[in-house]
Structure 1
Amino acid sequence: MIGRISQKGLTILTLERSDKANALTAGMLEALTAHLDEVAAGSDRAVILTGAGKVFSAGADLDEARAGLAVSPLWERLSARMAAMPCLTIAALNGTLAGGAFGMVLACDLRIAVPQASFFYPVMRLGFLPQPSDPRRLTALIGPSRAKIILMAGQKVPADQALDWGLLDRIVAPEVLMAEAERLAEGALAASPEHVAGIKALC
């Protein structure tokens, strides 16, 4: 349920469970982490993370969440792996981002989305705590009050507001989403892996 395309220093990872709004299972989290481990050990200079269909991810698969996935360390392991990638990481959000899927996206270097995307993290309503690093990364991007609007007030944030807040870096038409993500990767792809890692470390 994770598609992978690798070519010329670029890896594209795609959530491929569109019939379930790309809801994440334990197996998908493990597969994503394993793919990122392989990329980090190689010479790729950029990774693009996206989803199939019209929703990026609805978060955790509800059946697995009730069975314990909601409090699994797999989420933190994935977001930590994404944050530690030596290459440029780009989230190309083809639709709404919800719940636990926030973690890996917040850990990316850049975030672009289609105009129809919205952002919500309904942990207050569902009775779960967010993953430990998510509030910290969210607050670093948009500030504590806006983070609380999402995490505590449970508000859905539309793409234009997310851009204004700094949660997104760019809004892109659906038909050119992946082309724009690849365009953003061009600078890194023209450099050596060491150069990419060095500039990322300085940032």
Structure 2
Amino acid sequence: MIDLSKADGVWTVTINRPEKANSLTSDMLQELTRIASSAQDARALVLTGTGRVFSAGADLEEAKAGLALSPVWEELSVAIAALPCLTIAALNGTLAGGAMGMALACDLRLAVPNAKFFYPVMKLGFLPQPSDPARLCALVGPARTKLILMGGQKITAEAALQFGLIDQVCEPDALLETARGIAADCIAADPELVAQIKNMCSF
């Protein structure tokens, strides 16, 4: 349910469970974390999904069994954020719940026009993953972070672009091509230089 392809230094990681809105099981999260942790030699890493939803967050049955409180969500975000290469979330559709963390951990976020963004963690009786509020706040500011985490608002792609939550809106058939185009300079550059520039840009 997690597909990995490698071409010209770009690792493309695809969540492939469209019949369940790409909801994430513990095994899927562990596989994503393993891939992210092993991608030290990648020139760029692109996260995307199959179908009309990037990810609806946790699988409902596993969430009820404790997945919602698992540290694996944070482990995944930390692994992505620690990568020395450029990381891009190519959001093929709606991004919801705990899946927000992996996108927030990426350097850049692209999304299709009909994507929506929401993180109803408080309504469900949970705290967000530890690093998510700070990363979200760095992108959209404190008030808009509260709008999402406390107000439970669904944010459209247009609003997300205005907020700074995403960096570009792309048509579905151009999403991955756009991501690879953005990564082209990093693919061609010295990886050490890429890593140093990325570190200089860290907050």
Q: TM-score band, normalised by the shorter chain? A: over 0.9
Structure 2 residue 32 is the aligned partner of structure 1 residue 27? no
1:2 corresponds in structure 2 to 2
For normalisation by structure 1, the TM-score amounts to 0.98
1:125 corresponds in structure 2 to 123
Three-state SS of the structure 1 residue aligned to 2:14 is strand
CA contact (8 A) 2:37 2:80 kept: no
Shift of 1:87: 0.3
Three-state SS of the structure 2 residue aligned to 1:13 is strand
For normalisation by structure 2, the TM-score amounts to 0.98
Q: Which ranges of 4 or more aligned residues in structure 1 deviate by more than 6 Å?
A: none
State the superposition RMSD in angstroms: 0.7
Identity %: 59
2:106 corresponds in structure 1 to 108
Whole-angstrom CA distance in 2 between matches of 1:16 and 1:159: 22
Matching residue's letter, 2:44: A
Shift of 1:163: 0.2
Three-state SS of the structure 1 residue aligned to 2:123 is helix
Q: Residue by residue, what CA displacement relative to the aligned partner does 1:132-190 show, whole Å, maximum 9, x if unpaired?
A: 11111101110111001110010000000000000000000111111101101101001
CA contact (8 A) 2:11 2:45 kept: yes
Q: Residue by residue, what CA displacement relative to the aligned partner does 1:79-109 show, whole Å, maximum 9, x if unpaired?
A: 0001111100000000000000000100000
Structure 2 gaps, min length 5: none
Structure 2 residue 37 is the aligned partner of structure 1 residue 12? no
Whole-angstrom CA distance in 1 between matches of 2:73 and 2:169: 26
Q: Residue by residue, what CA displacement relative to the aligned partner does 1:4-50 show, whole Å, maximum 9, x if unpaired?
A: 0011211000000010000011101100111111112xx22100000
CA contact (8 A) 2:29 2:76 kept: yes
CA contact (8 A) 1:45 1:192 kept: no
2:63 corresponds in structure 1 to 65
Structure 2 residue 187 is the aligned partner of structure 1 residue 197? no
